Chains A and B, each alone.
Chain A
Amino acid sequence: MKKMNNRGFLLAESLVVSTFVLTILVLLFVQFRGLFNNYEDSYNYNTVEGIYNLNTMKKYLMNNQTNKLSEKISSNGYALVVSDGSCQTNLDLTGLNYCDELVSGMHLKALLYTSSNISSLTTSNSLFTESFKDFLKRIENVSNKNRLIGQFTDGTYATIVFNESDFA
């Protein structure tokens, strides 16, 4: 009988194959994790009621356009209209009680009124949480359009754009 070759694999062969298989598994994991995250985000970003609620806030701001609001946009590029579920008093907004009622009804946690360029918000601003910044990173810049960005207490986010002339 012919003698069997029972030497097995060399250590180098085993290492090469293991590394190859591990690399493929890691790549697959990264791809699937990205897909999974996108899927999770699709539930939390731009929900229909969130967009309707921001539209309600837009109507409120259109009727309460103040110099302070415009100054904030010009100097900082954004104005924090709602923070911790309360309308900000430093913007000279009229009907603050009404604003607070709207905010509490829609369970709005924070509302940003921004100019078209929002790239600076994502980098250096310590006011926003990491999840809020993740949402900001997903937003595409639309030139010559202002934007409202809202964070709701249930962990959802929404944004709408509008012409600057709407607030003129």
Chain B
Amino acid sequence: MKLNNKGFTVVELLASFTLTMIITTLLFEVVMELKDIYISSELETGIKNENALVARAVSREINNGNIPVDCGGDMCILQDGREIKVLSNQEIKVANRVYEMPEDTYINDDYSITAACSSDVALAPGSERCYLKINYVVSGENFSDDIPFNLVISYLG
């Protein structure tokens, strides 16, 4: 039987190579974008988890009666002598535990940890209504949107 040995023409080959190159380039861009999304979401999830742990720890201390007795704007000393404090641009200490933000992220310098009280007519005389306020922002090079953390827990002072 006679074989069909005509092969492809140069034009056919060029057209198919060009098409393959375009598709490969597009796929590569998509893969790179997915990689960036994966990295940034992993960091954001890590930050959110740490924030959740900080919120839970602070709430637990206050609800157990371990209320702030002395706050200096960037840290608070609790009734049992332990403290709530930003240790470094990656670490926050609540009582005796340290919560660490993921690598390549950092807590901005304009954080604040404060407490204040306000006398309230609805409460018994001598009781003050107080609140502990923690504000900080976490940034990173691998994600564009800063992640703020704003927590206010009230207690009777």
List A residues at the B interface (Cβ < 8 Å): 1, 43, 47-49, 52-53, 56, 59-60, 63-64, 94-95, 97-98, 101-102, 105-107, 152, 154
Min CB–CB distance A135 → chain B (angstroms): 18
A60 to B59, alpha carbons, bound, how many Å? Answer: 16
A106 touches B150 (CB 8 A): yes
- Give chain B's interface residue range (CB within 8 Å of chain A): 20 to 34
B51 touches A48 (CB 8 A): yes
A45 to B124, alpha carbons, bound, how many Å? Answer: 37
A-B contact pairs, 25 of them (CB 8 A): A1-B2, A43-B44, A47-B48, A47-B51, A53-B150, A53-B152, A56-B154, A63-B122, A94-B121, A94-B122, A97-B118, A98-B118, A98-B131, A101-B116, A101-B131, A102-B131, A102-B154, A105-B131, A106-B150, A106-B151, A106-B152, A107-B148, A152-B150, A154-B148, A154-B150
A101 to B133, alpha carbons, bound, how many Å? Answer: 10
A13 to B148, alpha carbons, bound, how many Å? Answer: 56
A60 touches B148 (CB 8 A): no
A-chain residues with CB within 8 Å of residue B59 when the two chains form the complex: 52
B120 touches A49 (CB 8 A): no
A-chain residues with CB within 8 Å of residue B131 when the two chains form the complex: 56, 98, 101-102, 105
Residue B135 interfacial (CB < 8 Å): yes
